[in-house]
């Protein structure tokens, strides 16, 4: 397909898909709590309402942070869809994450400061796993480009089974799901104030929510990659990963950041490295 058309299509479809999935999440969470839950379209209502609120800001950097966060999420997704370099993509995503953290830091508020401090740690917890997954891809395709995966004729899951687990954990951390929600909770009603998001309001918060839609699609896209040969199986894997994070969210409680970092740096990285080692061994990667 024409890359520009593909990009434009992604720009439109991704937020719709992401928003629907988020709505589904709210609904499922409610059902798991024996409630009826909001309509599936609720995330869109929320974003729409936030956009209509009076613009309020503590400083002018907050808006920059929110806008960069959205823009990098969009850019990263576009790079993914257009088959660009996955490693560059991850660091573009990291740029957005850092900007969000700085946005939280830019306000002299105890809540957002604490949230940002903890978001730094969340980033510390998931970042190496994302990079290691991409390295796993490189080991088998000899390239970091997303297109090279599509050129592969066997599903990646066969050689990278553990990355399904680590990627699920990463989605959990990225979406601020329990027990990984140390900097803020995904669902606002699960906490008193909203950690790193506390001081963003109105349009800024709407941009951040919108960025979450794009980001969710991107993260699920990474899972989909594990079985790219049949897109239905890939989608099923992605949904399964997503629903397991929702389940995890509902059956666990928030843990401390110490636990988060040490868990991800021992078990998370340990498992990922074990999988990579197996790939090295199996493929006898040439020196």
Least Cβ distance, residue 101 to another protein (angstroms): 6
Smallest CA-to-CA distance from 101 within 73, 122, 72, 130 is with 122
* CB < 8 Å & 24+ apart, contacts of 253-258: 253/178, 253/179, 254/178, 254/179, 254/181, 254/182, 254/185, 255/179, 255/180, 255/182, 256/182, 257/118, 257/121, 257/122, 257/182
Residue ranges in 9-48 that form contacts with another protein under rule CB under 8 A: 26, 30, 33-39, 41-42, 44-48
Least Cβ distance, residue 239 to another protein (angstroms): 23
Count of residues that interact with another protein, criterion CB under 8 A: 96
When asked if residue 202 is in the footprint of another protein (CB under 8 A), the reply is: yes
Nearer Cβ to another protein, position 85 or 239? 85
Distance of CA 109 to the CA centre of its chain: 26
Nearer Cβ to another protein, position 115 or 172? 115
Query: According to CB under 8 A, which one of 9, 16, 59, 161 is a site residue for another protein?
Result: 59
Residue ranges in 133-172 that form contacts with another protein under rule CB under 8 A: 135, 138-139, 143-145
**Paired residues of 85 in beta bridges:** 145
Nearer Cβ to another protein, position 110 or 161? 110
Nearer Cβ to another protein, position 154 or 258? 258
Query: According to CB under 8 A, which one of 14, 22, 68, 238 is a site residue for another protein?
Result: 68
Query: 43 and 210 in contact (C-beta within 8 Å)?
Result: no
Question: Residue 287 and residue 274: Cα distance in Å, rounded?
Answer: 19
Nearer Cβ to another protein, position 57 or 248? 57
Nearer Cβ to another protein, position 88 or 233? 88
Using CA atoms of 156, 86, 219, 270 in order, give the dihedral in degrees to the nearest 10. Answer: 60
Give the x-and-dash track for 110-129 against another protein (CB under 8 A).
xxxx--xx--x--xx--xx-
Nearer Cβ to another protein, position 74 or 219? 74
State in Å, rounded, how far the first CA of the chain is from the last one: 37
Task: State whether residue 214 is helix, strand or coil.
Answer: helix
**Residue 109: phi, psi to the nearest 5?**
-115, 130
Least Cβ distance, residue 282 to another protein (angstroms): 14
Residue ranges in 71-100 that form contacts with another protein under rule CB under 8 A: 71-72, 75, 79, 84-85, 87-88, 91-92, 94-95, 98
């Amino acid at each position: 397909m024409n890359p520009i058309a593909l990009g434009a299509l992604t720009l439109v479809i991704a937020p719709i898909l992401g928003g629907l999935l988020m709505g589904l999440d709210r609904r499922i969470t409610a059902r798991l709590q024996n409630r009826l839950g909001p309509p599936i379209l609720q995330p869109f209502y929320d974003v729409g309402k936030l956009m209509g609120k009076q613009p309020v800001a503590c400083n002018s950097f907050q808006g920059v942070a929110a806008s960069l966060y959205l823009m990098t999420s969009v850019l990263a997704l576009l790079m993914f869809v257009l088959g660009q370099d996955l490693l560059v993509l991850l660091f573009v995503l990291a740029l957005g994450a850092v900007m969000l953290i700085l946005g939280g830091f830019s306000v002299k508020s105890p809540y957002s400061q604490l949230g940002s401090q903890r978001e730094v740690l969340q980033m510390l917890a998931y970042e190496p796993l994302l990079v290691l997954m991409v390295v796993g891809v490189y080991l088998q395709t000899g390239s970091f480009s997303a297109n090279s995966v599509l050129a592969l004729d066997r599903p990646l899951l066969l050689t990278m089974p553990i990355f399904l687990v680590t990627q699920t954990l990463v989605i959990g951390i990225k979406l601020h799901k329990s027990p990984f929600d140390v900097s803020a909770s995904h669902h606002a009603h699960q906490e008193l104030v909203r950690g790193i998001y506390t001081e963003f309001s109105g349009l800024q918060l709407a941009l951040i929510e919108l960025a979450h839609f794009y980001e969710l699609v991107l993260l699920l896209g990474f899972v989909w990659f594990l079985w790219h040969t049949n897109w239905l199986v890939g989608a099923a894997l992605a949904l399964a990963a997503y629903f397991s994070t929702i389940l995890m969210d509902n059956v666990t409680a928030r843990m401390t950041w110490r636990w988060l970092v040490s868990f991800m740096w021992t078990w998370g990285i340990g498992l990922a490295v074990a999988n990579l080692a197996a790939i090295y061994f199996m493929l006898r990667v040439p020196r």
